[in-house]
Structure formats: C-alpha cells, structure tokens
Amino acid sequence: MSVTIIYGSDGGCTRKIANKIASKTGGRALDIKKAEVADFENASLLILGCPTYADGELQSDWLDHLDKLEQADLGRCRVAIFGTGDQVNYPGSFVDAIGILYDIAVERGAQLVGHTDPAGYDFSESAALRDGRFLGLAIDEDNQAGKTEARVTQWLATIR
C-alpha cells in the first residue's frame, strides 16, 4: 500500500507529526508547497495534515496551494486527515482545519477514514467535530504532547 502524507507547517509541529506518520507507515511526507495534483491522486492512502490558525483558518501554505486538492480526483483514494491545534487558547476553533480539508476531500470523491473520539480533549467548538466524532486525528502538542505518540499509533492502526 502506498501512503502519501501531504502537510503544511510553519513552526514545524505538523511537519514533525507528518514525518512520524511516514516513518510508521513506510510512506512519504511531502510539503504542500512541493506537492502536485498527481501526488494527491496516486496514493492508496492519502493523509492530509494541517494546523489550524487564528479563528479556524488553514495554515498559509495550504491556503496558497489549496487548488491542488480542489483539482484532484480522489475517487480511488482513501483519505485520512490529522490536524494540530491549541484547545486551551483556541477552544472555539480547535482543529477546524480538519473539517475544512474533509469537506473538500469529500467533494473530490474521497473515501474518508480515521474518525476519532473527542474524549480527553477540552474545547468548546470545532468544525472537525460531526456526529460526536472528530473527522480525523486531533493533535495538541501545546497542551497534550505526552499523548501524541499513543494517539498517532492508535489512529494508524484504525486506518491501515
């Protein structure tokens, strides 16, 4: 199974998680700035990673290159999404980027996998939360870094 992880990262946290996932799956991590439409289409498992900024915005590189995802035909792809965020300082938009990318991937025909339980997080609202579950893996390295390894490992076991 070919695994491609496409991520955007300013401070390095999301890149670190993408590289961790690549090492655990034997996949390749690719910065959204370097990705092409074909990179989205040619993986049997596509994993998207994005931090949430301000009041629920995508990271700047994702904003600048979102057209690549919007042009991709994901009808043959299984897609999973992880997002990094800060539930303490931004409890009203925690990991909103997951929800934004999810909606686009669904529009492009993807089969989405990797929903997770929000238990253990403390936030008030999230565009990533639907029907009582996160649409992907929520990571809060600012406040819960000690839980990241176990969360990533458990999540990968469910999507592989």
Mean pLDDT by 10 residues, the chain (160 residues): 95 97 97 98 96 94 98 96 97 98 98 98 98 98 97 96
pLDDT of res. 151: 98
pTM: 0.97
Domain extent for 131: 3-159
* CATH number of domain containing 21: 3.40.50.360
pLDDT of res. 54: 85
Length of the chain: 160
Count of domains observed in the chain: 1
Give the Å distances, CA to CA, from 45 to 49, 131, 145: 13, 24, 26
pLDDT of res. 73: 97
pLDDT of res. 1: 79
Q: Is 17 left (phi over 0), alpha (psi -120 to 50) or beta?
A: alpha
pLDDT of res. 119: 97
